[in-house]
Structure 1
Amino acid sequence: MSNRSKKSDSNHPAKFNKKQGAYLQALSSYSGPIPHPDILAHYDEIYQGAAKIIIDRAEKQLDHRVDMEKSVVKSNILNEKLGIISAFLIALAFGYIAYRCAIAGHDWPASIIGKTDVVGLVATFINGGGRNIKELSQKRNAE
């Protein structure tokens, strides 16, 4: 019985004479294209002008990124315009072929070519618009 009482006494926190201590841990977080101003100040203490160099490089990187995005947007616009013009010319060609078939008395081929032409155009514009919407939503989610 004495063993049990010793075990129960040793598990009781009030019986121990351990020193209890506490410590405080402070965490801070910073996110951005350049280091936190305090860190920049430390860089400047180590190497005079380091903060200016870091900020100048960040500005150059930002300018480069903006220029690249502008060129990508211009290229995408040009590609879309060329795609629309090409689709229109192909549609005109198939429409003309369907017309010539109809005039020559070939009603079934004219009907099939004409319907395929219209369905292809509609499908192209629907799928093209869906792709652009999907790309925009992916970009928004990435930001």
Structure 2
Amino acid sequence: MQNPSDDTDKQPSTKKAETSNNSITQQDSQQEKALEEIYENLPEEQKEGLTLAELKMAYSGPLPPPGFLKEYDKIVPGAAKQILESTWKEQRHRHRWENLSLYNDIFMQSGGLICGLLLTVGCIAVYVWLIEHNVDWLVAAPLLTPPLLSVALQMIKSKEK
């Protein structure tokens, strides 16, 4: 049996990648059973001090580690370059979409504020015009109520935050 520390220096194997998690789990289970069978068939004196170590390699993120890229390149020449280019393209694409979303949010917030301001100023201007032309204030008052209420509500909401 090999020393477990020897396995840590090895690069990942170049076995063809399994296409589903199910088949990987089944393969792990088969390997486990095979190791248990080997262990059971060993004489008792060889079982003493025997250590079984399992090494699994995984990564997360947009790029595999350099050792994996090297192995991909051995299997398919130029694969590492394609993986890097694909990662760069995906990152540029994602950044463009995030920037577009950010600009859209800014535009929507600014547009809402500008429309609210124009509506409020317009209602006040019409109210003032009606008062100047001797229209009864009770008739003109409903024009002034919505903008004043919306401004008051916005002030209350901003204080709550």
What TM-score comes out, normalization by structure 1 length?
0.61
**Cα 1:99/1:22, change in 2 over 3 Å:** same
Work out which of the residue numbers 58, 72, 83 in structure 1 matches 2:87: 58
C-alpha distance in 2 between matches for 1:102 and 1:25: 87
Higher-RCO chain (CA-CA 8 Å, sequence separation at least 6): 2
Sort the Cα spacing of 1:39 and 1:125 in 2 relative to 1 into closer, same or farther, 3 A: farther
Matched residue, 2:124: 95
Q: Give the corresponding residue for 2:74.
A: 45
Q: Which residue of structure 2 lines up, in the alignment, with residue 120 of structure 1?
A: 150
1:22-50 per-position Cα deviation (integer Å, ceiling 9, x unaligned): 42223444211012222111101101111
The one-letter code sitting in structure 1 at the alignment partner of 2:87 is A
Kept in 2, the 8 Å contact 1:44–1:50? The answer is yes
1:48-75 CA-partner distances (Å, limit 9, x unpaired): 1111110110001101111121222222
* Percent of residue pairs bearing the same amino acid type: 23
Conserved 8 A contact 1:98-1:111? yes
Distance (whole Å) between structure 2 residues aligned to residue 89 and residue 59 of structure 1? 45
Distance of 1:74 and 1:26 partners within structure 2:
47
What's 1:75 paired with? 104
The Cα shift of 1:122 comes to: 4.0
1:104-143 counterparts in 2 under 5 A? Answer: 104=134, 106-124=136-154
1:93-141 Cα distance to aligned partner (Å, 9 max, x none) = 22123324544353345445434312213435776x7xxx9xxxxxxxx
Q: What is the TM-score when the length of structure 2 is the normalising length? A: 0.56
| Bigger helix fraction | 1
Answer whether contact 1:101 1:110 (CA < 8 A) is retained.
Answer: yes
Structure 2 unaligned spans of 5+: 1-43
- Cα distance change on mapping 1:35 and 1:126 into 2, 3 Å: farther
